Structure 1
Amino acid sequence: MRAVIAEDSVLLRAGLTRVLEGSGIDVVAAVGDAEALLAAVEEHRPDVAVVDVRMPPGHSDEGVRAAMVIRRAWPEVAVLMLSQYVEERYAADLLATNTAAVGYLLKDRVADVTDFIDALERVAAGGTALDPEVVSQLLLRRHNDPLDRLTPRERDVLALMAEGRSNARIAQILVITESAVGKHINNIFTKLDLPPDEGDHRRVLAVLRFLGSGS
């Protein structure tokens, strides 16, 4: 796997580089601002870009905006965003049209190298990795919408789907069978008014609805 890192903190950038390279990932570029990130992605066409949400010159949403450019211009490049704090709006912006090959994690997650690399590999393979803290805050703010129809266990399953977990991993975390997970997911689809349709990816639509960015 080939990766580009965009992080303005020199120490964290060096740390991320060591973590990735120590896991057998080829870091083809490590840069400190959004402009350099876009140039590096255009030059190297990596499998994944690891991007800080806030970068120079304004330290606001430069990383998110650059990530959205990457998703439009080079859709084959996966994007994993890193943030110091939970910023739901940026997560929703990034996931507004597609949850494939995208992730949003708090920087604290980097300390758990195994989980961080697992999330990175999942995103690079076309999956999703959403920080549990973001999921928790999204759950807390929900009122009077179709998600209220879900049982507590169905909400647990949907939250783990939003994190990007597979059915097998959801079963392990919740200590239930994969068959039970499948039944919960089917109930979720029904309660969120997502009928079977080969033209729609109901799992993605369910997550988008959970994030408040779907139709």
Structure 2
Amino acid sequence: RAAVQLRKAHPALGVLVLSQYVEERYATELLAGSSGGVGYLLKDRVAEVREFVDAVVRVAEGGTVLDPEVVAQLLGRSRKQDVLAGLTPREREVLDLMAEGRTNSAIARQLVVSDGAVEKHISNIFLKLGLSQSDEDHRRVLAVLTYLNS
């Protein structure tokens, strides 16, 4: 949080964060709109003093230094969001209500549509999320888990 506040108050200030773990929200805020002079490294992965000094110098010179794990987590997060971005606004509404535990009939009543329309939206959600029919998986639960993880 301090790094984000410093960066907002002094955009030209080089900031290198050493963290125990990746805090996606702060990493995203720190990197957003940054043209350089910023870094985010995990403490336990900085093995050599020479690597650390090199990172400090690069940030001081206006460069960017990111731990590979930070990159992997941020890219993973954007891929999850991309999956839901393919849904129409109405499909998102249906999925929101599914996540609240609503039945198809309850969803239809709330959205003032027919049960058939809800079933069609749910089928489209399953298709767009890549959830094919299976005897071993419950697609409705998997759709809600995808929604909650995004």
- What is the TM-score normalised by the length of structure 2? 0.47
Q: Per residue, is there more strand in 1 or in 2?
A: 1
Q: Per residue, is there more helix in 1 or in 2?
A: 2
Q: Which has the larger radius of gyration?
A: 2
Asked which structure has the greater RCO (Cα within 8 Å, sep 6+), the reply is: 2
- What is the TM-score normalised by the length of structure 1? 0.34
